Structures are given as C-alpha cells and as structure tokens.
Amino acid sequence: MSQSGVLRYCYDTVFSILKREGEHSKLYTMMENAGGEHVDVSGTTLSVVVSDLAQISQDKNGEKVFIEERTFPAPTFMAFILSIEIRAEQYPDVLETAGYIIRYFKDNNIFEAGDYNWHGNTNNTVYMESVIREPDMHRMMNMQSLPCVVLAYRIEAAINSEKGGTFKRVQKRDIRGKPMPQD
C-alpha cells in the first residue's frame, strides 16, 4: 500500500459511508457501477462520481518537511469534487434522500486518514465540505428520464513525496575568541 492511494481511499470511504447509511435508512440503494451505465433499479438510487480533480498548491517552492531524521519535499495538495447523484421516480423521494445525506455530512464531515495520512497532517483527518454555489434554473443535469439532483462535496488530501534526503543536525560548538583591545 502506497500513501499515494489517498485519493482512492477518500472516494472508497465516502462510498462506504453512503452505502452503510442507505442500508440503515432504507431510503436509497447505491449504484455499484459509477461508469455512467444505466441500470434498472426500482426506488431511489445514488451514484458517486468524481467530477473534478486539481492540484491546489504550488509544491515546487523548496519547502521541506522533517520526518524521522529525513527531509522530504512538502506534500502535493489536491482537491476533488465528489458529486452524489440522487435519482428516483418522483421528486419527493429525491428530496427526502438529499435532505438525509445533507444532514449526515453536516454532522459527520470528518473522517480519519489512517494509513494514508500525509506529512504535516497532525490531526490525521480528512475534511469534506459542501460545494457552495447559487441555484441556477438553467443548469443542465444528466436526467436520463428520472428526476435527479446532484450534491457536490469538496475533499482535500495530500500526496507525500517518496524522495527523502538525509537530515544532518548541527553540532554545538564552543566558540571562543580573544577580547578586542579597547583604544
């Protein structure tokens, strides 16, 4: 397992949370194939799609982190948008499910990074936040004949460099000199 799998870990964690909550609430069923294929499922369904991925900080600035007597370049910070598509035969079912998910992630917007924690993340946590935007009546949605809404969440994580260098400690030296003569 490489720490560079942190992005997949975040996706899998959110997917697992949504699947568990769907089984618990009995409001929806998770779509296992998020590849855009249409699958006939009765009731309300959810699919999770990564709709954007971007590097959000400059990592060529020379910053270093010190880990266990080694130096590493600062981690590369990434952000991605997870879009949760909710589909049902009727809008009341879509909106009830959307409300449930919104409330869940409002109260539970942090999960542990675990084995995928990155250098400098002292809290060992990953944060999810809602993507804030204004409603747009002209926004095109992938309807596929069923009522659908999309909830978007931003997740930030970082990928460590494996290129570590040695760290040399400065040794204490006793520096002495002769006093300068006073004129």
Could you report the per-residue pLDDT of 140-152, keeping only the tens digit for each? 655 556 788 899 9
| CATH classification at residue 118 | 3.30.2000.10
Rounded Cα–Cα distance for residues 63 and 174 (Å): 31
- 92 in a domain, yes or no? yes
Which residue from 83, 9, 73 is spatially nearest to 46, judged by alpha carbons? 83
Q: Is the pLDDT of residue 162 over 50?
A: yes
Q: Within a domain: residue 171?
A: no
Question: What pLDDT score does 37 carry?
Answer: 45
Q: Residue 6: exposed, middle, or buried by beta-carbon count in 10 A (0-12, 13-18, 19+)? A: buried
Question: Considering only CA atoms, which of 80, 91, 82, 100 is closest in space to residue 28?
Answer: 100
Listed in order, strand segments (DSSP E) in the chain are 29-30, 45-55, 64-67, 70-73, 76-87, 110-112, 125-130, 148-159, 165-166
| Banded model confidence at residue 74, pLDDT cuts 50, 70, 90 | confident
Assigned domain for 49 exists:
yes
Residue 10 located in a structural domain? yes
Distance from C-alpha of 150 to C-alpha of 152, rounded to nearest angstrom: 6
* Percentage of the residues of the chain whose pLDDT score is greater than 70: 83
Please indicate, yes or no, if residue 175 is contained in any of the structural domains.
no
Which residues form the domain of 126? 3-166
pLDDT at 30 over 50: yes
The verdict on residue 37 lying in a domain is: yes
177 inside domain: no
Q: Pick the residue with more confidence: 110 or 2? A: 110
Total count of domains within the chain: 1
Q: Is residue 180 part of a domain?
A: no
